[in-house]
Amino acid sequence: MRQSTLLIPTLREAPADADTASHQLMLRAGMIRQVAAGIYTYLPLGWRVLKKIADIVREEMDEAGAQELLMPAMQPAELWQQSGRYSAYGPELIRLHDRHGREFALGPTHEEVITTLVRGEVSSYRQLPLNLYQIQTKFRDERRPRFGLLRGREFLMKDAYSFDADAAGLEIAYRRMYEAYHRIFTRLGLNFRAVEADAGAIGGEGGTHEFMALVDIGEDTVVACSDCGYAANLERAEQGRRGASFSLDSSAASSDKSEIESLHTPDLHSIEELTAALGATANQLIKTLIYKADNGQVCAVCVRGDHEVNEIKVKNHLGVDSVELADAQTVQKVTGAPVGFAGPMGLTIPVLVDHDVAQMPSCITGANKQDYHLAHVRPGRDFTLTQVGDFRNACEHEPCPRCAEGTLHFYRGIELGHVFKLGTKYSAPLGAKYVDRTGQEQVMMMGCYGIGVSRVMTAIVEQHHDANGVIWPASIAPYQVHIVPISVKDEVQWDLAKMIYDRLRQAGIEVLLDDRDERPGVKLKDADLMGSPFRIVVGKGAGEKRIEFKERGTPEAASMTVDEGITCILNAVNKM
């Protein structure tokens, strides 16, 4: 395309309200513009990229045997009432009334619609399995839309739903999607990890992975092994192998036969204050936190002073929907002391003890008495170890819980997609049943599989840019080649540029020709910003049919003949 005919409004400066590299660059390169908070127009350049991402997703979904369809954005509220999500979804669900006063939701996801559809059309085991997907605009009224396309209120999503006769079928469908996602994100040039994740609000019966792009602006912490494929969200990551992470020598420590010693610790509440005052290290202390579950149950959780309680693990252990730190009044009531002096000894509430605490030879804990702590406390001797488990976050550099050699590393990540085993969460309440081989009625087993298509674009830009602009992977570049004649008024330059343009287009390559009468600096800056993988500058050498060829992301341009340049590009494109 000739650049002068296109709407690519580049900006010299990053707008003040854009606070991530990807958001700034997408605005500066003329790819997107905000219409309202979290609501964007994709300009021609951005839309070309988004379409290419969607096409790669579509190809791999089709290849994996999924069938594309399109469901409506407007969903009758009754469907959401049947699944029980109409109230549960909260203010993120956009609701509206039609002219007759009937309630609708704008779909943030389509479990209700697809399950109702399949309930109506599928009745026999012979019609299963099915995997149905769509690439569609979704709506979610985020409380704080931010980071450009990363957390928007209207966004493009691929959502797939599998229907199987039994758990074995679901396992196959899930695995097939898991592998398709690997292919998709690899083709998109992303550095990603598939991590074990907690099922969260969407629910399901276990078995869920999130595909995370590893980027600095990540909203989540990804824990991954240096050696094996193990990776998990921090909220889900298991702690390292027992014992291996423990820095004190347990045989030496077990010789500590000292009696418990009472320490006067006025105004020392935090681990930091205690270690400083007592000359101890954090891993010699027990941190005891009092939690209250949504069912009213109160318990204590003990982790080592250098560890963090993982509330998801506590909640899952208790079998409740949520837990939160108890208020000061409750703490006073169950420990007999204000916040900051709790310890496991003498408590009458359940005490959840982390594995690493159970292995401590001797430790310092709160005395359940204002301004006092206790030293030389020995787990098992001085308090019982009836509920020992994994109640803490994994730590960086600790041994991998899965393999023999690896250690855990932490990364920032953003979610690109996820795969979920839903089981019968929707098929049971919505009545999606089939008749099996023996004539028995059975509830279908479902999975759901999402990819945030517009979010993926953000992740790609975060991973592929430099100070001057985007560096597109060739698979999704809006144009593969950018031709920049230094002066369009110089006939020799212009004719040569035009000739290269025509030849590359005839070879099926997408070429952007900068035919604008602008200063060379402006044009080269724009080219870097837009980030085509290959740039050809036609300047003074045009008379000798020489050009400057440069791959975006490499520091130096190379002078070569036109034929050499075209060969370079054809070779590179054929390799893609």
- Using CB under 8 A as the criterion, which residues of the chain lie in contact with its own copies when the complex forms? 4-7, 9, 33, 35-36, 39-44, 46-48, 50-51, 65, 67-76, 91-92, 94-96, 98-99, 102, 104, 106, 113, 117-118, 120-122, 126-127, 130, 132, 137, 139, 141, 143, 153-154
Question: Smallest distance from the beta carbon of 99 to its own copies, in angstroms?
Answer: 4
Tell me the chain's radius of gyration from C-alpha atoms: 30
Q: How far is the CB of 163 from its own copies (least distance, A)?
A: 9
Q: Which is nearer to its own copies, 139 or 185 (CB)?
A: 139
Collapsed DSSP state (helix, strand, coil) of residue 55: helix
Yes or no: say if 445 and 163 are a contact pair by the CB < 8 Å rule. Answer: yes
**C-beta of 32: minimal distance to its own copies in Å?**
10
SS (H, E, C) 431-495: CCEEECCCCCEEECEEEEEEEEHHHHHHHHHHHCEECCEECCCCCCCCCCEEEEECCCCCHHHHH
Residue 142 CB coordination number (10 Å): 14
Comparing CB distances to its own copies, the nearer of 46 and 343 is 46
Task: Closer to its own copies by CB, 47 or 178: give it.
Answer: 47
Eight-state DSSP code of residue 238: P
Q: Which is nearer to its own copies, 355 or 523 (CB)?
A: 523
Least distance in angstroms from the C-beta of 306 to its own copies: 40
* CA atoms 470, 476, 481, 487: torsion sign: negative
Nearer to its own copies, 58 or 241 (CB): 58
Alpha-carbon gap, residue 507 to 226, rounded angstroms: 43
Smallest gap from Cβ 166 to its own copies, in A, equals 18
Peptide bond into 129 cis (omega under 30): yes
Give the residue with the Cβ less far from its own copies, 8 or 217.
8
Minimum CB separation from its own copies for residue 90, in Å? Answer: 9
Give least dist CB 69 to its own copies, A.
5
What does the alpha-carbon distance between residue 377 and residue 179 come to, in Å, rounded to a whole number? 50
Residue closest to 420 by CA, chosen among 185, 245, 221, 200: 200
Is the CB of 70 or the CB of 467 nearer to its own copies?
Answer: 70
Nearer to its own copies, 114 or 569 (CB): 114
Find all residues with CB under 8 Å of 47, minimum gap 6, and list them: none
Both structure tokens of 265: 């610790």
| DSSP state letter for 200 | G
With the CA atoms of 485, 486, 487 and 492 taken in that order, what torsion angle do they form, in degrees rounded to the nearest 10? -60
Considering the complex, what minimum distance in angstroms separates the CB of residue 547 from its own copies?
A: 27
For residues 152 and 146, give the distance between their C-alpha atoms in angstroms, rounded to a whole number.
7
Cα–Cα distances in Å, from 321 out to 201, 296, 313, 315, 533? 10, 11, 11, 7, 49
